[in-house]
Amino acid sequence: MKLEQLDLFADGGRRMQMTESIELTVQSLQAYGSSHPHWAIAWSGGKDSSATLSLIVYLLDVGRIPRPQSLTVFYADTRQELLPLSIAAYQIMDDLAERGIAVEIVMAPLDKRFMVYILGRGVPPPNNNTLRWCTRQIKIDPMQEALSHRLAQLDGNVLMITGVRQGESAIRDRRIEMSCGKDGAECGQGWYQQVLPEAKGLRGRIATLAPLLHWRVCHVWEWLKHWAPQAEFGDWSTVGIADAYGGDEAEEINARTGCTGCSLTDKDMALDNLLAQSQWAYLAPLKQIRPLWRELREPQHRLRKPGLERLKNGTIAKNPQRMGPLTFEARLMALDRILAIQCACNAAALSQGRPVIDLINAEEEARIRELVAAGTWPDGWEGDEPLATILLDVVYQNGAVQPLLFGAEA
């Protein structure tokens, strides 16, 4: 009897907390929504922004929040999403289409996409120290571009709604972070909140609102797995999102998701969690992507500036003899390896009747080969710089040179 009472209490308590969380969300939208004629939702397909999107559309459907003059949903497709997240996103787009809500798919231009930028242009894979170009290039810049374009078609201000979520303690401390690693957050989400409104052309016309800012992660899962799929809350295809975060264990694992094989995380947690589920185990070859990105950062695959480098503004660069772009051989080697990984996954997918992956499509492969054939180097590089393994006299930033003791090559 005692146990039963406790269970009832736990269940009722969770429901009450959910209702309170949703109520606060409603209040924030009532307070800020009505002063903005147009709303836009930045949706990454991850758990937080998918919860935000499905909840807002449900609240609009049942008349709990004021309807804006226009609602535009921007789906940020990086071409690097984990497969179950990408599948779930396209199912949710069908759910939205049934309601007459169009989704604009936001993608970086061909030459700036992750694979083309690395393998075609030769820019080394991102890392945490000197070269983190990816978040801005494949997520933020395309979103700014799409939003600027939309703003040009509209009169009045736009409320950009994001899935940024910080939980209760952060709200108490009045902290909103740029970090993507907190509490299972998704890569880039803080950037939408803080960087997007400041962009040229958007300043002054766009405000951002994170109506789930106060939600705890357990509420997000409760909504996606148990509430949103019910007809009374909108019949959303949100259950599949949990797969990318660890299936039934998703809530406990509280993983962060990002690009397949993201080279900036310590561990490939999201992919490991996915492969641990039998229905996704056929994607195991994807585990080879992260080591490949690491390998490409090694000197044998890259060029190096031989000495001091004068920048466009006339000043001397801070890091003489820095390592730079990937050689053509390295790019083509990596292209072959990625295509082989894709081929192995898809052969297994076809034999098991499972969904196929699309790491590099025909257009991207053709463009990569075209850029390599055209001898393309990133800005500031000519391609005549020495290979980074060649030993050179050491040049310091003040111009001093320390000659090699033994004039040998590595």
Helix (H), strand (E), coil (C) string for 168-196? HHHHHHCCCCCCCCHHHCCCCHHHHHHCH
Q: Kindly state the number of chain residues that form the binding site for ligand SF4, as judged by CB under 6 A.
A: 11
Q: How far is the CB of 259 from ligand SF4 (least distance, A)?
A: 3
Whichever of 228 and 283 has its CB closer to ligand SF4, that residue is 283
User: How many CA atoms lie less than 13 Å away from 407 in the CB half-sphere?
Assistant: 1
Q: How far is the CB of 296 from ligand SF4 (least distance, A)?
A: 13
The reply to whether 85 sits near ligand SF4 by the rule CB under 6 A is: no
Residue at 131: amino acid letter? L
How many Å apart are CA 376 and CA 348, to the nearest integer? 35
CA angle centred on 399, ends 394 and 405, rounded to 5°: 25
Report 190-249 residues binding ligand SF4 (CB under 6 A).
Answer: none
Of the candidate residues 264, 303, 335, 359, the single one contacting ligand SF4 (CB under 6 A):
264
E strand segments, 185-331 = 206-209, 302-304, 323-326
Strand order, beta sheet including 38-43: 103-106, 70-76, 38-43, 158-161, 206-209
Of the candidate residues 88, 262, 335, 357, the single one contacting ligand SF4 (CB under 6 A):
262
DSSP 8-class letter at 41:
E
Whichever of 186 and 243 has its CB closer to ligand SF4, that residue is 186
The reply to whether 80 sits near ligand SF4 by the rule CB under 6 A is: yes
- Both structure tokens of 155: 């009169």
Report 162-201 residues binding ligand SF4 (CB under 6 A).
Answer: 187
Of the candidate residues 41, 73, 123, 138, the single one contacting ligand SF4 (CB under 6 A):
138
How many Å apart are CA 1 and CA 313, to the nearest integer? 77
Cα 345 to Cα 89, 123, 349, 352, distances in angstroms: 21, 26, 6, 11
- Scanning 105-113, 156-164, 259-267, 376-384 for contacts with ligand SF4 by CB under 6 A, the matching segment is 259-267
The reply to whether 161 sits near ligand SF4 by the rule CB under 6 A is: no
- Scanning 8-16, 132-140, 141-149, 235-243 for contacts with ligand SF4 by CB under 6 A, the matching segment is 132-140
The reply to whether 134 sits near ligand SF4 by the rule CB under 6 A is: yes
The reply to whether 259 sits near ligand SF4 by the rule CB under 6 A is: yes
User: What residues make contact with ligand SF4 under the rule CB under 6 A?
Assistant: 80, 126, 134-135, 138-139, 187, 258-259, 262, 264
